[in-house]
């Protein structure tokens, strides 16, 4: 893919999951940046448990289940469209089911690995909190529906994540940002068009 000249370097190979070039790990790249740190912790714990579960299956000589690429793409599209509040494609039945049912299947599938790492209570607690308050996409859409203003979405995100977002401001030629208003303006400038499209 890099040799085709389309990609600049291997870092641009945006597979949903891939082996890391630098570390002996698997990179899970399908999820977007989380609004809350605890949601990132949840994804990391689930990803580790899934990798460990499948690694155990491989060591035990069990064949990996085959899944058609088009069904995986449909499942990813459905998840990005419906999130936690609509139907998702069940990985076993390959039929639409509620998000809570699919999440329950996920937990059952990797529960042994979660238990062994001591993460099962943390993951179930974080999942419960996530289902109760909603994820980042739900937060953004709700904020946009309330006012119809993208600036309010940004201000709300800044309020949730804290002003730490203003620190790494060197990318894209921006000088270090020192005030919350400047931070909001930078977000609006850099991501406004893309977010406006996604929020429609």
pLDDT digits (tens, 9 = 90+) for 75-124: 988 888 888 888 999 988 889 999 889 999 999 999 999 999 999 999 99
Do 157 and 127 fall within a single domain?
Answer: no
Same domain? 26 vs 45: no
3-state secondary structure of 89: strand
Q: Is pLDDT above 60 for 171?
A: no
CB atoms within 10 A of CB 157: 18
The string of DSSP letters for 90-125 reads: -TTT-SEEEHHHHHHHHHHHHHHHHHHTT-HHHHHH
Q: Which domain holds residue 104?
A: 37-133
Q: Do the Cβ atoms of 121 and 45 come closer than 8 Å?
A: no
- 65 and 98 in a single domain? The answer is yes
Element (H, E) at 18: strand 17-19
Same domain, 96 and 178: no
Q: Which of 105, 133, 161 is the last residue of a domain?
A: 133
Q: Is the pTM of this model over 0.75?
A: no
The pLDDT of residue 15 is above 50: yes
Residues 44, 115 within the same domain: yes
Task: For 125-165, write each residue's pLDDT tens digit.
Answer: 999 999 888 888 888 888 899 989 888 888 888 888 874 44
The reply to whether 58 and 112 lie within a common domain is: yes
**Do 190 and 121 belong together in one domain?**
no
Contact status, residue 43 vs residue 28, Cβ threshold 8 Å: yes
**Do 1 and 23 reside in the same domain of the chain?**
yes
Answer yes or no: do 97 and 166 share one domain.
no
Q: What percent of the chain has pLDDT over 70?
A: 80
Based on the structure, what is the number of domains in the chain? 3
């Amino acid at each position: 893919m890099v040799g085709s000249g389309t990609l600049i370097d291997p870092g641009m190979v945006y597979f949903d999951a891939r082996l890391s070039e630098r570390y002996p790990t698997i990179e899970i790249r399908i999820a977007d940046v989380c609004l809350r740190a605890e949601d990132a912790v949840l994804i990391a714990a689930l990803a580790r448990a899934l990798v460990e579960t499948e690694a155990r299956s491989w060591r035990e000589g069990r064949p990996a289940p085959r899944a058609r690429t088009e069904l995986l793409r449909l499942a990813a599209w459905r998840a990005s469209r419906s999130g936690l509040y609509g139907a998702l494609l069940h990985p076993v039945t390959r039929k639409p089911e509620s998000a809570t049912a699919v999440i329950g299947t996920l937990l059952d599938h990797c529960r042994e690995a979660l238990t062994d790492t001591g993460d099962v209570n943390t993951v179930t607690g974080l999942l419960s909190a996530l289902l109760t308050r909603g994820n980042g996409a739900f937060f953004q859409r709700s904020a946009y529906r309330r006012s119809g203003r993208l600036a309010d979405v940004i201000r709300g995100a800044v309020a949730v994540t804290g002003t730490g977002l203003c620190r790494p401001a060197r990318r894209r030629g921006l000088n270090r940002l020192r005030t919350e208003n400047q931070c909001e303006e930078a977000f609006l400038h850099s991501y406004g068009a893309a977010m406006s499209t996604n929020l429609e």
